Amino acid sequence: MNPFLEIDSVDRVFPLPGGGEYVALKNINVDIKAGEFITLLGHSGCGKSTLLNIVAGLDRPTNGGIVLEGREVRKPGPDRMVVFQNYSLLPWLTVRENVALGVDEVMQNLPPAERRQIIDDHIRMVRLQPAADKKPDELSGGMKQRVAIARALALRPKLLLLDEPFGALDALTRGGLQEQLMQICQEYKVTCVMVTHDADEALLLSDRIVMLTNGPAAHVGQILEVPFPRPRSRMDVVNHPRYYALRGEIVYFLEQQKKAKKRKAAKAPQVVSANGLEKVNLDIGFIPLTDCAPLAVAQEKGIFAKHGLTQVNLNREPSWKAIAQGLTENRLDAVQAVAGMPLAMTLGIGGKAPLPVVTALTLSRNGNAITLSRQFYDEGVRSLADFKAAIDRTPDTVHTLGMVHPSSMHNLMLRYWLASGGIDPDRDVNLVVIPPPQMVANLKAGNIDGYCVGEPWNSRAVYEKTGFVVACDRDIYPNHPEKVLAVREDWAEKYPQTHLALVTALLEACEFCDDLRNREEVLDIICRPQYVGSDPAYTRPGFIDPYDRGMGEPEMMPNYNKFFVSQTNCPSRVEALWMIAQLARWGITVFPRNWVSIIDRVRRVDVYSEAARNLDLPGLEPGRRPIQLADGTVFNPDDPIQYLHDLAIKREIIVEEVEIDAVSPA
């Protein structure tokens, strides 16, 4: 069923007088049901009123759109009425005449007597019959606002839009009018969108509260479901057992946004360079895997140099641990990282001090598989259920499985896959960290019974008949983020134009890699000794040729290695939250109570969007939607803590605020 109102990927960008632009709103996605009361809440300057004006048709989005009952909103209309903070009454008209103004204009087809009845009914609705013939200067502030509400509702709009309607009223008047509005909305099933900065007002009136982050580029940080039953009274709401917890969530969100604003205001000084880039000689670390292709292509096709990065050294690193150390020690300017590494390092993985690391580009998606020893295949194992049965048959044997890094999607997906089949990854099996190029050798030697890794190391085990692929990405989490570009936060702030040039170059390389006409050339590049150095025979499956699981006929897997198509490259914030939840699920990091500000700090969507514009690409962030995994589980980004508590297999969940100090530039 389609939503009543869709706010679909809305951006609003304003040109600045001296050139340049101000991004007020970025990728706003909200679906609203008929009869729902939605509140937009955030600090001043976050774009609440701008968004309301776009919904009203008083302003147009730069990108995206508003759809009301299946029709795009392009201009104002009587189906959407706005109640402003300043009443906007015509001072020379009486209450009745102010209400009649719109009714007589919009409902000209109705007989005069019927129009008069509508006007009187709505004056009665807001209890202003005694003042019907008075002019605005004879009314109190609360009465004027009631006139504005009556005028709006008299047109029988599909949607009532309220822009801080009670902000100018005293507390007593405001409380009475809030109660009256609530009763009207409940009785007449009015769909409302209201702007406010008042947490108590939002909790009293709303079904859901949409909290916006600071501008510029404000986005939806969190959506709170308000569980209070209707009809409501103020005392019922205040006495509800969840009232103070929800109020605390709102206040905490707003406080975190204040802190983020102060941190951004205290940025490190930038290096100035005559050629527009602060630094042109870069050392970039990578691991020999098929999905290092964008880095290799950017180097070999001259894309780095094209964007001003004239001296780039690609350093082939032995392990993901070495990649993380390279960033920590400032040995590497940037790295190809496993998707969870920037988040884990920022949160302080393994008891280490938090090190702020950012990513502005997802380099690849998919490309992973879970390989088991051929011995399991010979014993009849073909699925997760078969593997669990094999474990249950040998309770005295602990099977060892390899993964590449605690913060990698390989670890998170392997654990997720095992747990979905009733296997506790910490108690029923033994997980060990092994660098990707060493997986096959360890499987052959019998040191491990299987592993989760990227290509070509699964296909090599199949090619050499050492193992078989029991599951791949689409069996667990289709289209998951896999590798990202990562740099230290202080490096990004010291060299912002260099960072932008690097992201732009690699985004262009990603597009080249996903043009299937280029795949043979890309394969030739990555198979060279300085990159993956692999045999094309076991590098082609999934990359160009059908994928061979070692369990029958190879199968076509479109986008098994995905570098650009279908919004691959944006560092999605919802995906980051899923990764944080999985890291906390297994005790790898705590779950940060201030997850909105952590994710905004790590996932630099602003830099990605600017890089995309440099290449005349749309640079859109995927919609803020729940994530559905292959086992049917749905991850709700608006209530990640409840999601964690509902999981059957997990470690102790620790939720605490993570304070991260800025690191002085090296």
- Domain contains 31: yes
* CA distance linking residue 644 with residue 36, whole number of Å: 28
Instruction: Compute φ and ψ for 333, nearest 5 degrees.
Output: -75, -40
Q: 3-class SS at 432?
A: strand
- Domain contains 207: yes
Nearest to 336 by CA among 371, 384, 288: 288
* CA distance linking residue 35 with residue 317, whole number of Å: 57
- Domain contains 211: yes
- Per residue in 607-639, pLDDT tens? 999 999 999 998 888 878 899 999 899 999 999
pTM above 0.95, yes or no: no
* CA distance linking residue 543 with residue 523, whole number of Å: 8
> Among the ranges 20-24, 167-171, 427-431, which has the highest mean pLDDT value?
427-431
Cβ–Cβ < 8 Å for 231, 188: no
- Per residue in 444-494, pLDDT tens? 999 999 999 999 999 999 999 999 999 999 999 999 999 999 999 999 999
Nearest to 512 by CA among 245, 299, 285, 223: 299
**pLDDT for 268 beyond 70:** no
pLDDT value of residue 374: 96
* CA distance linking residue 629 with residue 129, whole number of Å: 57
Cβ–Cβ < 8 Å for 153, 122: yes
* CA distance linking residue 277 with residue 132, whole number of Å: 67
Which amino acid, residue 314? L
- Domain contains 245: yes
Cβ–Cβ < 8 Å for 462, 617: no
pLDDT value of residue 367: 95
Please state the rounded mean pLDDT for residues 245-273.
81
pLDDT value of residue 270: 59
- Per residue in 367-379, pLDDT tens? 999 999 999 999 9
* CA distance linking residue 170 with residue 165, whole number of Å: 12
- Per residue in 385-424, pLDDT tens? 999 999 999 988 999 999 999 999 999 999 999 999 999 9
Helices (H), 24-132: 48-56, 95-106, 112-125
CA distances from 558 to 244, 395, 474 (A): 49, 39, 11
Report percent pLDDT > 90 for the chain. 69
**pLDDT for 663 beyond 60:** no
**pLDDT for 666 beyond 60:** no
How many Cβ atoms are within 10 Å of 297's Cβ, its own excluded? Answer: 26
Distance of CA 343 to the CA centre of its chain: 13
Q: Which residue has the higher pLDDT, 364 or 261?
A: 364
**pLDDT for 351 beyond 80:** yes
* CA distance linking residue 167 with residue 143, whole number of Å: 14
Instruction: Compute φ and ψ for 641, nearest 5 degrees.
Output: -70, -40
State the DSSP code for 156.
-
pLDDT value of residue 232: 87
**pLDDT for 1 beyond 80:** no
- Per residue in 534-584, pLDDT tens? 999 999 999 999 999 999 899 999 899 999 998 899 999 999 999 999 999
Average pLDDT, the chain: 91
Q: Which residue has the higher pLDDT, 232 or 51?
A: 51
pLDDT value of residue 338: 97
Cβ–Cβ < 8 Å for 361, 571: yes
Model confidence at 142, in pLDDT bands (50, 70, 90)?
confident
Q: Retrieve residue 526's tokens.
A: 């990555």
- Domain contains 508: no
* CA distance linking residue 238 with residue 246, whole number of Å: 11
Is the omega angle on the peptide bond into residue 592 within 30 degrees of 0, that is, cis? no
Model confidence at 276, in pLDDT bands (50, 70, 90)?
confident
CATH number of the domain residue 213 falls in: 3.40.50.300
Q: 3-class SS at 623?
A: coil
- Domain contains 5: yes
Q: Which residue has the higher pLDDT, 370 or 99?
A: 370
The overall longest dimension of the chain from CA atoms, in Å, is: 94
Report percent pLDDT > 70 for the chain. 97
Q: 3-class SS at 627?
A: strand
Please state the rounded mean pLDDT for residues 152-174.
79
Lowest mean pLDDT among 355-359, 520-524, 632-636: 632-636
State the DSSP code for 474.
G
Cβ–Cβ < 8 Å for 372, 450: yes
* Number of structural domains found in the chain: 1
* CA distance linking residue 149 with residue 162, whole number of Å: 9
Cβ–Cβ < 8 Å for 654, 588: no
Lowest mean pLDDT among 141-155, 182-196, 217-231, 524-538: 141-155
- How many residues make up the chain in this entry? 666
**pLDDT for 145 beyond 80:** no
* CA distance linking residue 31 with residue 36, whole number of Å: 10
Q: Count the helix, strand and coil residues of the chain and give each as a percent rounded to the nearest 5.
A: 40, 20, 40
Contacts of 153 (CB under 8 A, 6+ apart): 81, 122, 125, 160, 184, 188, 190
Beta strands 159-163 and 561-562, pairing class:
unpaired
The structure tokens 């009556």 sit at 150
* CA distance linking residue 465 with residue 183, whole number of Å: 71
Cβ–Cβ < 8 Å for 481, 412: no
Beta strands 399-403 and 220-225, pairing class:
unpaired
- Domain contains 28: yes
- Per residue in 632-658, pLDDT tens? 999 999 999 999 999 999 999 999 999
Q: Which domain holds residue 228?
A: 1-79+195-266
Q: Retrieve residue 145's tokens.
A: 């606002």
DSSP string, 352-400: PPP--EEEEEEEEEE-EEEEEEHHHHHTT--SHHHHHHHHHH-TT--EE
pLDDT value of residue 274: 46
pLDDT value of residue 21: 87
State the DSSP code for 620.
P
pLDDT value of residue 665: 47
- Domain contains 208: yes
Lowest mean pLDDT among 16-25, 201-210, 337-346, 587-596: 16-25
